[in-house]
Protein backbone atom coordinates (compact mmCIF):
# COMPACT_ATOMS: atom_id res chain seq x y z
CA UNK A 1 0.00 0.00 0.00
CA UNK A 2 1.42 3.36 -1.03
CA UNK A 3 1.72 5.97 1.68
CA UNK A 4 0.40 9.44 1.12
CA UNK A 5 2.90 12.19 0.43
CA UNK A 6 2.18 15.25 2.52
CA UNK A 7 3.61 18.75 2.80
CA UNK A 8 4.99 19.97 6.09
CA UNK A 9 5.82 23.50 7.19
CA UNK A 10 8.54 23.19 9.83
CA UNK A 11 9.90 26.06 11.93
CA UNK A 12 13.42 25.64 13.29
CA UNK A 13 14.96 27.93 15.90
CA UNK A 14 18.71 27.87 15.38
CA UNK A 15 21.87 29.54 16.64
CA UNK A 16 22.71 32.54 14.49
CA UNK A 17 26.28 31.54 13.70
CA UNK A 18 28.43 30.85 10.69
CA UNK A 19 27.68 27.47 9.11
CA UNK A 20 24.46 26.77 11.04
CA UNK A 21 22.22 27.07 7.97
CA UNK A 22 24.65 24.91 5.98
CA UNK A 23 24.26 22.13 8.57
CA UNK A 24 20.47 22.23 8.27
CA UNK A 25 20.57 22.22 4.48
CA UNK A 26 23.25 19.50 4.57
CA UNK A 27 20.91 17.31 6.61
CA UNK A 28 18.32 17.53 3.84
CA UNK A 29 20.73 16.98 0.97
CA UNK A 30 22.65 14.22 2.75
CA UNK A 31 19.53 12.14 3.29
CA UNK A 32 17.80 12.98 0.02
CA UNK A 33 14.96 15.03 1.52
CA UNK A 34 13.50 17.71 -0.72
CA UNK A 35 13.30 21.37 0.32
CA UNK A 36 10.42 23.06 -1.48
CA UNK A 37 10.86 26.42 0.25
CA UNK A 38 13.40 27.80 2.71
CA UNK A 39 13.45 31.14 4.51
CA UNK A 40 15.75 32.24 7.29
CA UNK A 41 16.31 35.41 9.27
CA UNK A 42 17.62 36.53 12.63
CA UNK A 43 14.71 36.83 15.09
CA UNK A 44 16.38 37.42 18.48
CA UNK A 45 19.57 39.50 18.48
CA UNK A 46 20.04 39.24 22.24
CA UNK A 47 20.00 35.43 22.27
CA UNK A 48 21.62 35.24 18.80
CA UNK A 49 18.83 33.11 17.32
CA UNK A 50 17.55 32.78 13.78
CA UNK A 51 14.33 31.17 12.61
CA UNK A 52 14.21 28.90 9.59
CA UNK A 53 10.93 28.04 7.92
CA UNK A 54 11.28 25.03 5.67
CA UNK A 55 8.57 23.49 3.52
CA UNK A 56 9.22 19.87 2.68
CA UNK A 57 7.24 16.84 1.61
CA UNK A 58 7.25 13.13 2.27
CA UNK A 59 5.38 10.35 3.93
CA UNK A 60 4.38 10.70 7.57
CA UNK A 61 7.40 8.60 8.52
CA UNK A 62 9.80 10.74 6.46
CA UNK A 63 8.43 13.96 8.01
CA UNK A 64 8.89 12.46 11.48
CA UNK A 65 12.49 11.51 10.60
CA UNK A 66 13.22 15.02 9.34
CA UNK A 67 11.91 16.59 12.55
CA UNK A 68 13.83 14.16 14.76
CA UNK A 69 17.08 14.68 12.85
CA UNK A 70 16.69 18.45 12.89
CA UNK A 71 16.14 18.39 16.65
CA UNK A 72 19.45 16.51 17.10
CA UNK A 73 21.57 19.05 15.21
CA UNK A 74 23.86 20.96 17.57
CA UNK A 75 22.93 24.54 16.58
CA UNK A 76 19.15 23.80 16.73
CA UNK A 77 17.24 25.17 19.74
CA UNK A 78 13.80 23.91 18.74
CA UNK A 79 11.71 22.32 15.99
CA UNK A 80 8.00 22.91 15.46
CA UNK A 81 5.87 21.28 12.75
CA UNK A 82 3.34 24.03 12.10
CA UNK A 83 1.34 21.74 9.82
CA UNK A 84 0.84 19.18 12.59
CA UNK A 85 0.29 21.56 15.51
CA UNK A 86 -2.80 23.27 14.16
CA UNK A 87 -3.80 26.26 12.10
CA UNK A 88 -1.05 28.57 10.99
CA UNK A 89 -0.58 31.61 8.82
CA UNK A 90 1.78 31.17 5.86
CA UNK A 91 2.73 33.92 3.45
CA UNK A 92 5.15 34.42 0.62
CA UNK A 93 6.30 37.59 -1.11
CA UNK A 94 7.12 37.97 -4.80
CA UNK A 95 8.56 40.65 -7.02
CA UNK A 96 7.21 40.27 -10.54
CA UNK A 97 8.60 42.21 -13.51
CA UNK A 98 6.31 42.68 -16.49
CA UNK A 99 7.52 44.29 -19.72
CA UNK A 100 4.56 45.56 -21.74
CA UNK A 101 3.07 48.43 -23.69
CA UNK A 102 -0.41 49.63 -24.66
CA UNK A 103 -3.44 47.55 -23.75
CA UNK A 104 -1.42 44.76 -22.14
CA UNK A 105 0.06 47.35 -19.80
CA UNK A 106 -3.42 48.46 -18.76
CA UNK A 107 -4.56 44.86 -18.34
CA UNK A 108 -1.53 44.12 -16.13
CA UNK A 109 -2.37 47.07 -13.88
CA UNK A 110 -6.03 45.95 -13.67
CA UNK A 111 -5.02 42.41 -12.63
CA UNK A 112 -2.46 43.76 -10.16
CA UNK A 113 -5.18 45.87 -8.56
CA UNK A 114 -7.47 42.83 -8.24
CA UNK A 115 -4.65 40.90 -6.50
CA UNK A 116 -3.74 43.91 -4.32
CA UNK A 117 -0.24 43.95 -5.75
CA UNK A 118 1.77 47.12 -5.29
CA UNK A 119 3.74 48.78 -8.05
CA UNK A 120 7.23 49.28 -6.62
CA UNK A 121 8.96 50.35 -9.84
CA UNK A 122 7.73 51.60 -13.18
CA UNK A 123 9.26 52.76 -16.44
CA UNK A 124 7.65 53.58 -19.78
CA UNK A 125 7.88 49.91 -20.74
CA UNK A 126 7.89 47.91 -17.52
CA UNK A 127 6.44 47.37 -14.05
CA UNK A 128 7.73 45.63 -10.97
CA UNK A 129 4.88 44.41 -8.79
CA UNK A 130 5.21 43.39 -5.15
CA UNK A 131 2.69 40.79 -4.06
CA UNK A 132 2.23 39.02 -0.73
CA UNK A 133 -0.02 36.06 0.02
CA UNK A 134 -0.40 32.33 -0.20
CA UNK A 135 1.70 30.35 -2.64
CA UNK A 136 -1.45 29.62 -4.66
CA UNK A 137 -2.27 33.33 -4.94
CA UNK A 138 1.25 34.12 -6.16
CA UNK A 139 1.13 31.24 -8.65
CA UNK A 140 -2.19 32.52 -10.04
CA UNK A 141 -0.81 36.07 -10.39
CA UNK A 142 2.30 34.88 -12.20
CA UNK A 143 0.22 32.78 -14.62
CA UNK A 144 -2.04 35.75 -15.42
CA UNK A 145 1.01 37.98 -16.04
CA UNK A 146 2.71 35.45 -18.31
CA UNK A 147 0.83 36.41 -21.52
CA UNK A 148 1.09 40.11 -20.65
CA UNK A 149 4.89 40.22 -20.79
CA UNK A 150 6.14 38.44 -17.67
CA UNK A 151 9.91 38.94 -17.72
CA UNK A 152 11.20 37.91 -14.29
CA UNK A 153 10.02 36.58 -10.93
CA UNK A 154 11.76 36.60 -7.54
CA UNK A 155 10.03 34.84 -4.62
CA UNK A 156 10.93 34.69 -0.94
CA UNK A 157 9.60 31.30 0.06
CA UNK A 158 7.13 30.65 2.87
CA UNK A 159 7.25 32.48 6.19
CA UNK A 160 4.83 30.93 8.68
CA UNK A 161 3.65 31.27 12.26
CA UNK A 162 1.04 29.47 14.34
CA UNK A 163 -2.35 31.07 14.90
CA UNK A 164 -3.67 31.96 18.32
CA UNK A 165 -1.91 32.56 21.66
CA UNK A 166 0.39 29.51 21.46
CA UNK A 167 4.03 30.22 20.68
CA UNK A 168 6.85 28.35 19.02
CA UNK A 169 8.01 26.99 22.39
CA UNK A 170 4.58 25.75 23.48
CA UNK A 171 4.18 23.87 20.17
CA UNK A 172 7.55 22.10 20.26
CA UNK A 173 7.55 18.38 20.11
CA UNK A 174 9.86 16.44 22.33
CA UNK A 175 12.18 13.91 20.80
The DSSP annotation for 82-102 comes to HHHHS-EEEEEEEEEEEE--H
Mean of per-residue pLDDT scores for the chain: 92
Under CATH, domain 89-156 is a member of which superfamily?
ACT-like. Chain A, domain 2 (3.30.70.1150)
Q: What is the pLDDT of residues 41-93, one digit of tens each?
A: 999 999 999 999 999 999 999 999 999 999 999 889 999 999 998 899 999 99
> What is the chain's length?
175
Same fold, 6-86 and 89-156: yes
Position 168 confidence tier, pLDDT thresholds 50, 70, 90: confident
Please state the domain extents for the chain. 6-86, 89-156
pLDDT given at position 172? 57
Classify 6-86 by CATH class: alpha beta
Handedness of CA 142, 143, 146, 152 (dihedral sign): positive
- Going by C-beta distance under 8 Å and a sequence separation of 6 or more, which residues neighbour residue 169? 78
Enter the pTM of the model.
0.86
Amino acid sequence: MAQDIQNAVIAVLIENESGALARVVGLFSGRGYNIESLTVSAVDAERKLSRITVVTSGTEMVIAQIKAQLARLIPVHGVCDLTATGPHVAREMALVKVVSHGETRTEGMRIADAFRAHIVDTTSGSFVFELTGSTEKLDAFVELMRPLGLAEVSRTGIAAIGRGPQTFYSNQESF
